[in-house]
């Protein structure tokens, strides 16, 4: 930014110097031409007043004067100009008394000069007066150019120093935030960057960084909790199977090996269920699916209810033509998890409703059980979280079914929540997914 500020200032100064030099050069040129013209007119006046002209002519220091008679002979001049040939050969036109040209150089002189020619009437013939003055160079004067360049360099230096100081002062809080972020590690959970007092963009940056750290700490806490819960749940069936095998090997003659095999098989089945759910969650976390199709939710529910045997009565309420764009197998998994949960807690009946609400497809699964307290409605969607009622009804559960269902809903751009039941009894899970344009009434 300092380089940019200095460059822009230098360009502005160059433009201003150019404009100043052009203006001063124009005024100086006009002044010199007027000076030469005035000197020539003064000589013309003297010639008209006193035809007997002296050899020497008076005029400004930087103006060369020559007087030529009708035979183009130099009869007078200024500062030795009478002893050289005519400095110019042009003359005013027949109808003009005045003419000017730039000669580089005039005869007998050096450098480019403005030459003014004036016709003077004489009885023997017209005389000609030449007045020459040097042209003005592009820089006008070395002193003027030197002053302009020095002033410009001083201005560029001051602007650059000011820009450097301003940028350094402005970025100091940013550098402090960067340093604090560099020092924060995974082992320093809860540490935050300092928020500046000024309400500006730097403060917003610090607040955004702290919000990001909050989310990272939350994710880290969830990861640690998930790792701990997964380790515990994986360890339990393994420990149970190991204990049963070790006990059987201590008393092999007294062991009922078929019974022991069935017990170990149950532990392995629970272990397999946990591993399967963990793999499913890992795939969902990585969003490892891209194949989508148009899925009719009503048909999906009808097929799933018809092909599965349930211990509780399943009552569907289907509105036709409710379709979504998604992964059919994962939507089936979501429905199965909701039905398994509802069947586990229902007393006698589970109601399934499919309907449309404006641009949203709605799937409801409601049981007639004891329901879920409002304070526990977010808890049941946490991984490995299980309420006491759930543990009592299904000790072999993994606590991953509802988290998987919510993650599938999220990947489909929808939500899965628990809402109050109209009858005031039972748990009511509501899935909302944006409808696809293929809906019949879209």
State the DSSP string of 30-72.
Answer: HHHHHHHHHHHHHHHHHHHH-SS--SB----TT-EEEEE-TTS
Residue 420: per-residue pLDDT: 84
In sequence order, the 6+-apart residues with CB closer than 8 A to the CB of 108 are: 81, 84, 85, 87
Of 3.30.410.40, 3.40.50.300, 3.30.565.10, 3.40.190.10, the CATH number of 293-434 is 3.30.565.10
Q: Where in the chain is the domain with CATH 1.10.287.130?
A: 201-285
In sequence order, the 6+-apart residues with CB closer than 8 A to the CB of 37 are: 98, 100, 116, 118, 131
On whether the CB atoms of residues 367 and 389 are closer than 8 A, the answer is no
**Which CA distances in Å does 171 have to 168, 174, 175?**
5, 5, 6
In the beta sheet, which residues pair with residue 74?
68
Residue 254: per-residue pLDDT: 81
Residue 385: per-residue pLDDT: 67
Q: Where in the chain is the domain with CATH 3.30.450?
A: 2-134
Residue 438: per-residue pLDDT: 44
d(CA 406, CA 409): 5
Q: Closest Cα partner for 387 from 366, 363, 370, 404? A: 370
Two tokens, residue 232: 């515990």
In the beta sheet, which residues pair with residue 341?
none
- Give the model confidence (pLDDT) of 205-264 as tens digits: 888 888 888 888 877 776 776 666 666 667 767 887 888 888 888 888 888 888 888 888
Residue 259: per-residue pLDDT: 85
What's the Rg (C-alpha) of the chain? 51
Residue 157: per-residue pLDDT: 95
Residue 370: per-residue pLDDT: 81
pLDDT by position in tens, the chain (length 442): 889 999 999 999 999 999 999 999 999 999 999 999 999 999 888 888 776 555 678 888 889 999 888 888 888 888 777 788 899 989 888 888 889 999 998 888 888 999 999 998 888 888 999 999 999 998 888 999 999 999 999 999 999 999 999 888 888 888 888 888 887 765 666 778 888 877 778 888 888 888 888 888 877 776 776 666 666 667 767 887 888 888 888 888 888 888 888 888 877 877 777 777 677 666 666 665 556 788 899 999 999 888 877 888 889 999 988 999 888 888 888 898 899 888 888 888 899 999 998 889 999 999 888 888 877 778 788 776 666 666 556 555 567 788 888 888 888 889 999 888 877 678 889 999 998 644 444 4
Half-sphere exposure of 225 (CA within 13 A, CB side): 10
Fold of 201-285: Helix Hairpins (1.10.287)
Q: Where in the chain is the domain with CATH 3.30.565.10?
A: 293-434
Residue 442: per-residue pLDDT: 40
Classify domain 2-134 by CATH number: 3.30.450
- Give the model confidence (pLDDT) of 125-136 as tens digits: 889 999 999 999
């Amino acid at each position: 930014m300092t380089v940019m500020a200095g460059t822009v200032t230098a360009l502005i100064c160059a433009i201003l110097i150019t404009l100043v030099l052009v203006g001063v050069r124009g005024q100086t040129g006009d002044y010199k031409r007027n000076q030469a013209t005035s000197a020539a007119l003064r000589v013309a006046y003297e010639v008209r007043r006193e035809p007997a002209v002296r050899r020497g002519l008076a005029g400004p220091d930087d103006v060369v004067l020559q007087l030529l008679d009708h035979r183009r002979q130099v009869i007078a001049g200024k500062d030795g100009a009478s002893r050289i040939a005519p400095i110019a050969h042009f003359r005013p036109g027949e109808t003009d008394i005045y003419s000017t040209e730039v000669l580089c150089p005039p005869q007998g002189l050096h450098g480019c000069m403005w030459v003014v020619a004036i016709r003077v009437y004489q009885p023997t013939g017209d005389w000609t007066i030449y007045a020459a003055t040097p042209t003005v160079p592009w820089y006008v004067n070395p002193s003027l150019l030197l002053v302009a360049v020095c002033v410009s360099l001083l201005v560029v230096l001051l602007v650059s120093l000011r820009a450097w100081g301003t940028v350094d002062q402005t970025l100091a809080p940013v550098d402090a935030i960067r340093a604090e972020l560099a020092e924060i590690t995974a082992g320093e959970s809860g540490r935050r960057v300092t928020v500046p007092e000024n309400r500006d963009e730097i403060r917003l940056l610090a607040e955004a960084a702290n919000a990001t750290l909050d989310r990272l700490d939350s994710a880290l806490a969830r990861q640690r909790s998930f790792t701990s819960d997964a380790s515990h749940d994986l360890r339990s069936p393994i420990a149970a199977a190991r204990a049963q095998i070790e006990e059987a090997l201590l008393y092999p003659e007294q062991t009922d090996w078929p019974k022991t095999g069935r017990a170990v098989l149950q532990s392995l089945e629970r272990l397999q269920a946990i591993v399967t759910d963990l793999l499913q969650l890992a795939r969902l976390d990585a969003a490892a699916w891209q194949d989508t199709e148009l899925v009719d939710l009503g048909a999906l529910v009808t097929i799933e209810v018809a092909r599965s045997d349930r211990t509780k009565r399943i009552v569907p309420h289907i509105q036709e033509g409710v379709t979504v764009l998604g992964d059919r197998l994962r939507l089936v998994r979501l429905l199965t998890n909701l039905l398994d949960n509802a069947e586990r807690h229902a007393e006698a009946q589970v109601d399934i409703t499919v309907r449309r609400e404006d641009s949203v497809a709605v799937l409801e699964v409601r049981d007639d059980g004891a329901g879920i307290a409002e304070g526990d409605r977010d808890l049941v969607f946490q991984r490995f979280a299980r309420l006491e009622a759930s543990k009592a009804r299904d000790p072999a559960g993994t606590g991953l079914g509802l988290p998987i269902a919510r993650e599938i809903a999220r990947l489909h751009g929808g939500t899965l929540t628990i809402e109050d039941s109209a009858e005031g009894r039972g748990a009511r899970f509501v899935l909302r997914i944006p409808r696809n344009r293929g809906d019949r009434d879209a």
